[in-house]
Amino acid sequence: MTTPIISSEPELGTAGISRPTGIDTVRVADLITQLLVELGEDPGRTGLIGTPDRVAAWWNAFLSPGGAATATCFTESHLNDQLVIVGGMSVWSLCEHHMLPMNLQVTTAYVPNGEVVGLSKFGRIAQHFAARLQVQERFTRQLAEHLTGVIGREDIAVAVRGLHLCMSMRGVRMEDARTTTVHARGRFRTDPVLSQQFLTVTTRQWAAS
């Protein structure tokens, strides 16, 4: 039987936002020691002393990066037709098929309607959804769906450009491959001008980076 590439749906929509944080670092360090042995290494040699603890600490930090997926909003009653694009955000996640890093460059956009969202929150929310074993497409959708809840309307667009180490440092070994995913909702689906403005700004930012 073929294993589906996107095989699981660990978190639907905005559900599961308060994921349990913290792992058993002692147990994880012990497992890393076992892995080193299986890989033919001597976990007691000088260079590897402390490695299992460091790896366990890294997993702990990766899975619970701090910062909730909540957003601070400010009333701006006169603002109801401006396009706000926050780009240049870069987060690291782990591909769930190979457990190798993927770098995700994220651009988000929305149209305020009497309220603006604190800009840093777009980055924090992106970090929140990156801090797990992921696939880029699911990350993109989770971010868009969560932001829809934050602004209380559907007028959200998210574009992500991914560099997958499983595709560049191993396997097919294509170092320049980049994957682009776009999730447009509300007016970003129905208004071609808005959609075009979003894509133009996004692609210009990516070209410049």
Ligand X SMILES: Nc1nc2c(ncn2[C@@H]2O[C@H](COP(=O)(O)OP(=O)(O)OP(=O)(O)O)[C@@H](O)[C@H]2O)c(=O)[nH]1
With CB under 6 A as the contact rule, the residue among 164, 183, 185, 187 that binds ligand X is: 164
Q: Is 136 in the site for ligand X (CB under 6 A)?
A: yes
Decide if residue 159 touches ligand X (CB under 6 A): no
In the chain, which residue ranges form alpha helices assigned H by DSSP?
A: 25-38, 51-63, 120-130, 136-151, 165-168, 187-190, 192-208
What angle, 0 to 180 degrees and rounded to 10, lies between the N-to-C axes of helices 25-38 and 51-63? 130
- Residue 95 in marked binding region: yes
Q: Which of 1, 39, 172, 208 binds ligand X (CB under 6 A)?
A: 172
Structure tokens at 14: 């905005």
Is 166 flagged in the annotation as binding? yes
> Interface with ligand X includes 137 (CB under 6 A)?
yes
- Known binding residue 98? Answer is yes
Which of ligand X, Zn ion, none lies near 136, with the C-beta cut-off 5 to 8 A by kind? ligand X
Please tell me whether residue 166 binds ligand X under the rule CB under 6 A. yes
Burial 77-106 (b: 16+ CB within 10 A, else e): eeeeeebebbbebebebbbbebebbbebbb
Interface contacts to ligand X, rule CB under 6 A: 5-6, 95, 97, 135-137, 164, 166-167, 171-172
